[in-house]
Amino acid sequence: MTKPVIVVHGGAGTWRPERSQLGIEGVKIAAEIGFKILSENGTALDAVEAAVAYMEDNEVFNAGKGSALTIDGHIEMEASIMDGKTLRAGAAGLLREVRNPVSLAKLVMEKTDYVFLIGEWAEKIAEKYGLEKQNPVTELRIKYWKELKQKLLQGEVNYLPRLHQLIKEHPELFTYETVGAVALDNKGNLAAATSTGGMTLKLPGRIGDSPLIGCGTYADNESGACSATGIGEIAIRLALAKTVCEYMKDGLTAQEAAEQSIREVNRRIEGANLIGVIALDPQGNVGAAHNSPNLCWAYFNAEMERPYASLEAKRIIIT
Ligand code: ASP
């Protein structure tokens, strides 16, 4: 029997002091919830879904309740999930009121012939299968949105075309705190899931990496599992989650693969390249690395009494 392990993240980016402690507590609880399922012989798939669903319900995180707002002040959530045993995957995007986008992603995987559904019809499927609805808007996100919008109106934010310059100069302006989880169960199966509200002030219709299989989420028993966070466009351009898994397939440990992927981001992508990844290899080794100021993350395995959680993992910045 394989020894189970779970790794979760509550997002890269800059964790402001008002939320730091809550973030640490939140990822710890998410890791505990996922690990409990694993230690009771549950599947990695159920563990990552439950861990991510908890973080979606915890409004400190930018996913589900507490999602970031689009430029016109509404919410478009997205999520994905992948089963490393069968390579089945599900994803959903442009969601306005599903309480747990990760559970809808799992429904898409299990109840439809497709991998990725968006918008109205995705929410119809959620309704048909009895998923709860809620208004995900919170006061804190409205405050962040107003602050950033004000700066935009005053011309302090060159949102386009100098986005990368802007983020370089003011990384704290952008909220990009997706949540994710990767797990290994005692049958040796891996799974990964990621969920987000996306980046504050994103254009409506913009899809990030989080619901895209291979970019924000990937799991394959033959290589490993990964969930990414940070500026989604970078993870998309490098098919980052799959890249991390390919490194593990080539023999790197999860930590080596995570670090290698961040070095690759630094080497290949010019400008603002704020990214973080968590990973697990088939042996259950844990990996986490980032070039963003923070990565809020936690992990839990059978040798530990309680989860380890931190706002930093191995940070690799351009020198
Ligand atoms: N990757 C997400 C996106 O670009 C944001 C995040 O990770 O926080 O939508």
CA dihedral 8, 13, 17, 18 (to 10 degrees): -80
| The model's pTM | 0.93
pLDDT at 169 over 90: no
Q: Name the residue of 14, 61, 163, 199 to mutate for ligand 1: max ligand atoms within 8 A of Cβ.
A: 199
DSSP per position, 261-314: HHHHHHHH--S---EEEEEE-TT--EEEEESSSEEEEEEEETT-SS-EEES--E
Least confident segment among 101-115, 156-170, 209-223, 271-285: 156-170
pLDDT of residue 314: 96
Residues enclosing ligand 1, CB less than 6 A?
11, 62, 176-178, 196, 198-199, 208-210, 229-232
Query: What is the average pLDDT across 265-272?
Result: 86
CA of 128 to the centre of ligand 1 (A): 28
- State the pLDDT at residue 158: 57
Q: Which protein residue has the closest C-alpha to ligand 1 atom 1? A: 232
- Mean pLDDT within 150-163: 65
- Ligand 1 pocket, mutate which of 78, 209, 265, 292 (most atoms under 8 A from CB): 209
User: Within 10 Å of residue 210's Cβ, how many Cβ atoms?
Assistant: 33
Q: Give the residue, out of 9, 27, 207, 229, with the most ligand 1 atoms within 8 A of its beta carbon, to mutate for a pocket test.
A: 229
**For the chain, what is the mean pLDDT?**
92
Q: How confident is the model at residue 173 (pLDDT cuts 50, 70, 90)?
A: low
Comparing 34-38, 186-190, 199-203, 303-307, the range with the smallest average pLDDT is 199-203
Spatial contact of 95 and 211, defined as CB atoms under 8 Å apart: no
Give residue 160's pLDDT. 53
Report how far ligand 1's centroid is from the alpha carbon of 40 (Å).
Answer: 32
Instruction: Identify the residue whose C-alpha is closest to ligand 1 atom 9.
Output: 198
Question: CA angle, corner 215, sides to 200 and 271, nearest 5?
Answer: 60
Two tokens, residue 42: 């549950």
Q: Which residues contact 144 (CB under 8 A, 6 or more apart)?
A: 68, 69, 175, 200
**Residues whose CB falls within 8 Å of the CB of residue 284, separated by 6 or more in sequence, listed in order:** 2, 3, 4, 5, 184, 301
pLDDT at 123 over 60: yes
Query: Residue 163 to residues 33, 151, 158, 170: CA-CA distances in angstroms?
Result: 37, 14, 7, 10
Q: How confident is the model at residue 54 (pLDDT cuts 50, 70, 90)?
A: very high
Give distance in angstroms: CA of 235 to centre of ligand 1: 9
Map out the domains of the chain with their CATH numbers.
5-315 (3.60.20.30)
Percent of the chain with pLDDT over 70: 93
Average pLDDT over residues 222-236: 96
Antiparallel, parallel or unpaired: β 314-315 and 286-290: parallel
Q: Which atom of ligand 1 lies nearest, measured to the CA of 78? A: 9
Q: pLDDT confidence of 105, banded at 50, 70, 90?
A: very high
The atom of ligand 1 lying closest to the CA of 197 is 9
159 pLDDT higher than 60: no
For residue range 56-97, list pLDDT tens digits in order.
999 999 999 999 999 888 999 999 999 999 999 999 999 999
Alpha-helix residue ranges (DSSP H) falling in the chain: 17-39, 44-57, 101-111, 119-128, 139-153, 163-169, 232-237, 240-249, 254-268
Q: Which two tokens stand for residue 263?
A: 């070095």
pLDDT in tens, 8-37: 999 997 888 888 999 999 999 999 999 999
Tell me, what's the pLDDT at 51? Answer: 98
- Residue 277 in this model has a pLDDT that exceeds 60: yes
Instruction: State in Å: Cα 237 to ligand 1 middle.
Output: 13
pLDDT at 45: 98
Residue 215's pLDDT is: 98
Tell me what pLDDT residue 116 has: 98
- The pLDDT assigned to 171 comes to 63
Mean pLDDT of 35-54: 98
Per-residue pLDDT at 19: 85
Cα(45) to centroid(ligand 1), Å: 21
pLDDT (0 to 100) of residue 202: 87
Which of 44 and 164 is assigned the larger pLDDT? 44
Give the catalytic positions in this structure: 178
